[in-house]
C-alpha cells in the first residue's frame, strides 16, 4: 500500500511542476510508457480473440459457426436460381449483339 502512496505523491508533484523541463521529461516518459503498455495489451487482446475465433471455427463450435450451415437460411430455390441464370444469359446475348452492331451515336463535339 505504501508503494501506491509513493507513486501517487510522485505523480502529483510531477504534475504540479509540469512547466519545469526536468518534470516535463518525466511526464513524457510516463506518457510513452502508458502508450506502449496499452498498445501491447491491445495487441495481446486482439491476438487472443482472433485465436479463440480461429479455434472455434476449426473445431466447428456451435450453431454460430460459419461451417455448420444451420440457421442462416434455407436451401437454394431452384426456380429463382434458374431465373437468375436466364437473366445472365439474356444479358450476355444483348452484350454480344451490341458488340457486333454498335449503336450510331452522333459525336456532340462536332
User: Do the beta carbons of residue 15 and residue 30 sit within 8 Å?
Assistant: no
What is the reported pTM?
0.45
Q: If you search the block for the grid coordinates 526536468, which residue do you land on? A: 22
**Comparing 14-23, 36-45, 48-57, 95-104, which segment has the lowest mean pLDDT?**
14-23
Q: How far apart are CA 36 and CA 34, in angstroms?
A: 6
pLDDT in tens, 47-90: 999 999 999 988 876 555 455 555 555 677 889 999 999 999 99
Enumerate residues 6+ apart whose C-beta is below 8 A from 78. Answer: none
Amino acid at each position: 500500500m505504501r508503494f501506491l502512496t509513493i507513486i501517487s505523491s510522485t505523480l502529483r508533484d510531477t504534475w504540479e511542476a509540469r512547466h519545469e523541463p526536468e518534470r516535463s521529461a518525466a511526464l513524457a516518459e510516463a506518457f510513452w510508457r502508458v502508450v506502449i503498455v496499452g498498445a501491447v495489451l491491445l495487441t495481446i487482446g486482439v491476438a487472443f480473440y482472433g485465436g479463440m475465433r480461429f479455434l472455434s471455427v476449426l473445431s466447428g463450435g456451435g450453431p454460430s459457426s460459419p461451417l455448420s450451415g444451420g440457421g442462416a437460411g434455407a436451401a437454394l430455390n431452384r426456380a429463382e436460381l434458374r431465373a437468375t441464370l436466364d437473366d445472365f444469359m439474356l444479358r450476355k446475348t444483348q452484350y454480344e449483339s451490341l458488340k457486333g452492331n454498335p449503336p450510331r451515336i452522333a459525336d456532340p463535339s462536332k
